[in-house]
Structure 1
């Protein structure tokens, strides 16, 4: 009986220790998760020394990416507000993206330049096209590699049409709408001339906005006698310099050393951390389930 009693007490003690360990492990996990969600990442270099501030714009410019207005503007604000930053450089490698996100970034960069009286430069790596160039023209000067891809000043709206295929395989499209234009650009319905003209007018308006932003940013440096400049074509970096789309051949180190006169580079780019990515995926999974439930009960949209 004595041995049984001691064994029971030992088992209970081990269970308490295990429960304590599990609770501490969960506590540590939640502390890490809170830190990961709230931490934006600190700059690794001593910001008290004079330096060149770098903000990267890479990949597609979209509200769901790291090159969104939210991330780029937050990084730019930190860079402009740091008194030790002698200049700010946008390090760009992007094929473009959302004109809305690009417009928000362009407006805010111009405001920050005027407020802090600090130079802003753009350095292009592989590509700076479409919405990326929309952002780049906010800079005082644009530097490119001779083989960079620059330009694509245009707007597009893409989609598919499956009406011919549906007729061949005998599929009937049944679309009910409240509002005669609610099925606008539906890929399974024939495109009407009225809808095509409306879409083209929208594109023309956004294209005109793009052109005005480029002309404001580049001014007399553009070769105004070239109608192809705003046609959506793109050029090499060397050609871009000749056309006035860019100012000079040069990379990041060259700009920091020779233009900003501060060789030390400090990266202010904001990145999604692990906690944010996990939270986004978890939220997306919940949201997807909610959307499916809503669509199952509410077919109208």
Structure 2
């Protein structure tokens, strides 16, 4: 035993003091990290503000500029494609320095709904601002839903090796009934509504439901075809493969009427729009918008997966 009087009390006091010191240290680190996060958020806000200020300053100088909007990645609700494109178009048209708009496309496609919304918005804005042309310049790929959107532009310019086309619709999934039989797994699914479980991967295929799915795909495909015909008009050649879902490289797509010529963003701004200076109007997400949208996407995913229709 320890011969020091009141040693137990001293030990407890030391332990309590150590706990207090540790709490203070943890509190200081917590405050430090909060300040770091506030600094990062403040820097991002300042950057966004200065970026907008730079756009305004550029618009007030010189003889005008070409507005550039990026259409990049999969067209879906997670990327908020249609809304961002609409907002960017609004900003570009509002700017009195805009001489023309280039949508810089590099996307394999995606949602037919969002593609249709973006297509309609481009057509609407063109009617309101007929003096400002809208062009699409294709980088690596502009297929399916991306081409749906591009068809709304006045002209489409490609690189000779760009991939364009894929005017078709698909709905995919998996069937696990054979594997379930081997494992002795029984599917116990109850529905109210005979077609409520249409597309369920754990149930056998139903010819009637498969016909319904095919009709949905055919209807969406016809919407896609009409949009391309309306947008491209007489430039489209009468080729039986045009709406079959095939893709072509840029130099092969020009004779078919899928594109109007070779070009990129810089050359179109300089030689076609005659405003070599470019200003980027692509909308950027803030952190809160990304988090809120991600939550919404996760809630919607369960229903959407039953009939996952897309244009790529």
TM category, shorter: 0.7 to 0.9
Q: CA deviation at 1:284?
A: 7.0
Post-superposition offset of 1:277: 3.8
Cα deviations by residue, 1:98-150 (Å, 9 ceiling, x for unpaired): 01001111111111111012100000000000000000011101000000000
> Counterpart of 1:80?
93
| Alignment pair present for 1:99 and 2:112 | yes
User: Which segments of 5 or more consecutive residues in structure 2 lack a partner in the other structure?
Assistant: 1-23, 302-312
Counterpart among 103, 126, 144 of residue 90 in structure 1 = 103
1:105-116 superposed matches below 5 A: 105-116=118-129
Secondary structure of 1:229's counterpart equals coil
Aligned to 2:71: 57
Query: Structure 2 CA distance, aligned partners of 1:148 and 1:26?
Result: 47
Q: Is the 8 A contact 1:134 1:213 kept in 2?
A: yes
- TM-superposed CA distance for 1:190, in Å, is 0.7
Query: The residue matched to 2:178 in structure 1 has which SS?
Result: helix
Residue 271 of structure 1: which of 266, 284, 292 is its match?
284
Distance in structure 2 (CA, Å) of the matches to 1:218 and 1:137: 6
RMSD: 3.0
Aligned to 1:11: none
Residue matched to 1:29: 38
| Equivalent pairs, count | 268
Task: Sort the Cα spacing of 1:36 and 1:284 in 2 relative to 1 into closer, same or farther, 3 A.
Answer: farther
Distance 2:296 2:206 in 1: 36
In structure 2, relative to structure 1, the CA distance for the partners of 1:172 and 1:36 (3 Å cut) is farther
Q: Whole-Å Cα distance in 2 between the matches of residues 221 and 214 of structure 1?
A: 11
Name the CA distance, whole Å, in 2 between partners of 1:43 and 1:203: 46
Corresponding residue of 1:220: 234
Quote the residue 1:3 is aligned against.
none
- TM-score under structure 1 length normalisation: 0.81
The 8 Å contact of residues 43 and 268 in structure 1, kept in 2 or not, is answered as: no
What's the offset of the Cα at 1:168? 1.3
Look up the match of 2:270.
257
